[in-house]
Structure 1
Amino acid sequence: MTKLFTTYRVLALVVGVLLLVGTLDIILKYGFSEGSGPQSLGEDLDVVWLFHGWIYIVYVIVAFVLTQRARWTLPQFLLMMIAGLVPGLIFWVEARVARQIRAQFPDLQTAGSA
């Protein structure tokens, strides 16, 4: 369970960062005039969405396995899924999941801190 929990936390943070960078991409790409420096940077950042998509799929699988092992309900799993699609939300959800997992599996207290 320790490796699964650690993998979930890393994936959540990576997905969250990629989502924020992707959001910045959209702001730069569509918020500035055509041909400007920020607009060109926005176009260059488009590749972030490819990485976010693939890593999000892995995140979904790991989150599903984690919720199954923890015997959580469907709404808890759905909140984890939505968090990977709403900029910034995943950081709050990851912290909440970490608290719940550590409370449910006290043996992870020391393992999750390292």
Structure 2
Amino acid sequence: MPPAPKLASFPAIRAALKFYQVCSVITGTMLLLLCAEMLIKYVLGYELFLGGSGGFLWFAPVVEGPEGLESTGDGLNLSLGILVAHGWFYVVYLFACFRVWSLMRWPFPRFLLLASGGIVPLLSFFLEVRVARDVRAYLKTREEAAAQADSPSPATEDRTRSIPTENTR
């Protein structure tokens, strides 16, 4: 079993948890957009464009070409933009997962579970809630235990008061 995180690392754990939570929500949202884009492209046969001849936001049909599906629209291809944005942000999400995982000193399969949150739709939202709950509960338990260990018990205080010192004799 790996050693427990040190109390001195708790502020870093809290910061890493906040970063993970933000990344988890963004990655989950981007993944849902990507899934919707893939369904629109491969099932309905359209891609989303910004600007160009079709107006501000519009769908252009895709056609079968010699190298697979090809766009027929002009303007900024938002379908491709969603794909690229999710891919790059997934790297940031992996870093956030790694940071929480390494600071908490969890086993490696837990890192794999966290990483899968960026590739399995909706999983990042469920993991974000569970990880936050687990980490906060762990930190609270350890801090309470440390506070109990640092504070003297009432019995100890009574004994130290009853011991005569040289000045009181």
TM range, smaller chain: 0.7 to 0.9
Match of 2:26 in 1: 14
1:81 and 2:110 aligned: no
Which has the larger strand fraction? 2
Give structure 2 stretches of 5+ with no counterpart.
Answer: 1-12, 48-57, 62-76, 142-169
RMSD over equivalenced CA pairs, Å: 2.2
Q: 1:70 to 1:58 in 2, by over 3 A?
A: same
Query: Structure 2-normalised TM-score?
Result: 0.56
Moved over 3 A (4+): 37-40
Distance 1:56 1:27 in 2: 20
- Relative to the length of structure 1, the TM-score reads 0.81
Q: Please give the residue correspondences for 1:83-98 in structure 2 after superposition, counting only pairs within 5 Å.
A: 83-98=117-132
Amino acid at match of 1:6: K
2:16 aligned residue: 4
Conserved 8 A contact 2:25-2:125:
yes
Identity %: 31
Aligned-pair distance for 1:45?
Answer: 2.2
Match of residue 78 from structure 2: 44
Paired position in structure 2 for 1:110: none
Q: Partners in 1 of 2:30 and 2:96 — Cα distance?
A: 17
Deviation at 1:15, TM superposition (A): 0.2
Once the two structures are overlaid, the 10-residue window that deviates more, 20-29 or 47-56, is 47-56
Residues 70-90 of structure 1, C-alpha deviations (whole Å, 9 max, x = no match): 111111110001111011111
Q: Which has the larger radius of gyration?
A: 2
| Aligned counterpart, 1:112 | none
Q: Give SS of 1:21's match.
A: helix
CA-CA distance at 1:96 after TM superposition: 1.0
Matched, 1:67 2:101: yes
Aligned length: 105
Structure possessing the higher relative contact order (Cα contacts under 8 Å, 6 or more residues apart): 1
